[in-house]
Amino acid sequence: MKNISYWLDIPYTSRPSLKQDRETDVVVIGAGITGVSAAYHSVKAGFKTVLIERDVIASGSAGKNGGMVVEGLAIDFVEAEKQFGKEQAIEAWQRTIDAREYVVSLIESNNIACDFSRSGSLYVASESQDISTLQDELQARHHANFIGEIIPQFEPKKDTLLVANDCSLHPVKFVRGLAEIAEKAGLSVYEQTPALSFDVHTVTTPHGIIHAKKVVVAIESNKTDLTENYGIIKRELALVTEPLSDEDISALSWDKGGMFWNTGNNYIAVRKIGNRLFLNGSINLNPSEKDLLNAEEKIIERFLAFVQNPSKENLAVSHRWTGLLLYPTRNRPFITQQNGYYELFGNGGNGLTNGIMIGKLLVESFLGENIPDIYQD
């Protein structure tokens, strides 16, 4: 068993680190989903752009997630209506649908090889009393003209909410693929180049200072002085299994939706990756090896409660890793210029849509567009 992300366990040629001072229009700190999106859109918009990363591209949460490109927020739509009001909830939700479709268009128009699939997702009622939660959720989504249907899946037949348009991909291939397209368009990327400090126009790294017209900070769950104002950092545990046999994978008792997650507090997210399974659940912020083993056991048990196959003995974990999430207190991402530079925060568990979206919106604001109110500080 390897203690690294399954997605990062692929060959990679590193970019050089920064060894001299640079001048540029835009410098982006952090080559995760958000930073790569901001850098891609910036260079495509004609700005001279530099992207720096303290490690390598997609080594943060971008390389540690489930690769699920899904509509929705950190909360159910019913809850979003309560918290934001109907109009804003509809706008916030619709923007996640637009972001998912925008990700699809980025992949298609740039031919990014990232194992993309329109696999669909299922939201599963964990307990019989949660069936009404799903029905209320579906009804509220239908009232707002969002699609979805309740279908029985799993054994014994459980109610699930199917969103057929949700997608899955290989997150590292996607983010690195997008960075490569941006590099071809003129982006300069420096890896192993931490920002030691930054202000409105300057970023200091160990071997060079970058002077820029605009500084963009996209380091998400890595603390800045604003983090505590906007979100709570949480840790997630992720597992990928060894490939299951063809019999076991075809006997898995759900045929619609390549991925699922469930209602209630014992949350897990699951998806297929070929014949392997990805499983993910929460863990405490600073887990010991014992905590990791306990959490691994619990996640597998929760998964097995939904399916009859495979047997526990046939589920061998090949990769285990943890990653951080910044859960935004306001349940949506946003862009702030409170300190003069631009900070992009709060993608929560939906970075593959939110991060791409706010990176794009930021650059549109450089071109004179207004950042939508719901994403403003």
Ligand X SMILES: Cc1cc2nc3c(=O)[nH]c(=O)nc-3n(C[C@H](O)[C@H](O)[C@H](O)COP(=O)(O)OP(=O)(O)OC[C@H]3O[C@@H](n4cnc5c(N)ncnc54)[C@H](O)[C@@H]3O)c2cc1C
**50 vs 218, beta carbon nearer ligand X:** 218
User: Is 280 a residue that touches ligand X (CB under 6 A)?
Assistant: yes
How many helices and strands in the chain, by DSSP H and E?
A: 9, 18
- CA-based torsion, 283, 284, 288, 290: positive or negative: negative
**29 vs 138, beta carbon nearer ligand X:** 29
The residue from 53, 81, 130, 296 that contacts ligand X (CB under 6 A) is 53
User: Is 138 a residue that touches ligand X (CB under 6 A)?
Assistant: no
**50 vs 352, beta carbon nearer ligand X:** 352
Q: Which residue, judged by CB position, is nearest to ligand X in the bound state?
A: 32
Stretch that binds ligand X, among 124-132, 146-154, 214-222, 225-233 (CB under 6 A): 214-222
Supply the minimum distance, in Å, between the C-beta of residue 358 and ligand X. Answer: 8
Helix H or strand E encompassing 312: none
Supply the minimum distance, in Å, between the C-beta of residue 372 and ligand X. Answer: 18
Q: Which of 105, 171, 152, 102 is nearest to 257 (CA)?
A: 152
The residue from 236, 240, 277, 360 that contacts ligand X (CB under 6 A) is 236
Supply the minimum distance, in Å, between the C-beta of residue 164 and ligand X. Answer: 17
**222 vs 337, beta carbon nearer ligand X:** 222
**201 vs 308, beta carbon nearer ligand X:** 201
Show the binding pattern over residues 147-186: x = contacts ligand X (CB under 6 A), - = does not.
Answer: ----------------------------------------
Dist. CA 205–CA 51, nearest whole Å? 12
Q: Which of 192, 189, 122 is nearest to 160 (CA)?
A: 122
Which residues in the chain belong to E strands, given as ranges?
22-29, 49-52, 68-69, 121-124, 149-153, 158-163, 167-168, 188-190, 197-198, 202-205, 208-217, 231-241, 259-262, 269-273, 276-283, 317-328, 334-336, 342-345
User: Is 35 a residue that touches ligand X (CB under 6 A)?
Assistant: yes
Dist. CA 28–CA 341, nearest whole Å? 10
User: Is 67 a residue that touches ligand X (CB under 6 A)?
Assistant: yes
The residue from 66, 72, 231, 310 that contacts ligand X (CB under 6 A) is 66
Per-residue buried b or exposed e for 152-191, using 16+ beta carbons within 10 Å of the residue's own CB: ebbeeebbbbbbebbbbbbbbbbbbbbbbbbbeeebbbbb
Dist. CA 128–CA 372, nearest whole Å? 39
**C-alpha angle 344-350-354 in degrees, rounded to nearest 5:** 40
Show the binding pattern over residues 319-348: x = contacts ligand X (CB under 6 A), - = does not.
Answer: ----xxx---------------------xx
User: Is 268 a residue that touches ligand X (CB under 6 A)?
Assistant: no
User: Is 30 a residue that touches ligand X (CB under 6 A)?
Assistant: yes
Supply the minimum distance, in Å, between the C-beta of residue 314 and ligand X. Answer: 23
User: Is 124 a residue that touches ligand X (CB under 6 A)?
Assistant: no
Task: Kindly give, in sequence order, each residue whose CB lies less than 8 Å from that of residue 226, ignoring residues fewer than 6 positions away.
Answer: 336, 338, 339, 343, 345
User: Is 100 a residue that touches ligand X (CB under 6 A)?
Assistant: no
**245 vs 284, beta carbon nearer ligand X:** 284
**101 vs 248, beta carbon nearer ligand X:** 101
User: Is 231 a residue that touches ligand X (CB under 6 A)?
Assistant: no
The residue from 15, 22, 41, 64 that contacts ligand X (CB under 6 A) is 64
CB burial class (10 A; 0-12, 13-18, 19+) of residue 201? middle
Contact set with ligand X (CB under 6 A): 29-35, 52-55, 59-62, 64-68, 194-195, 218-222, 236, 238, 280, 323-325, 347-353, 355
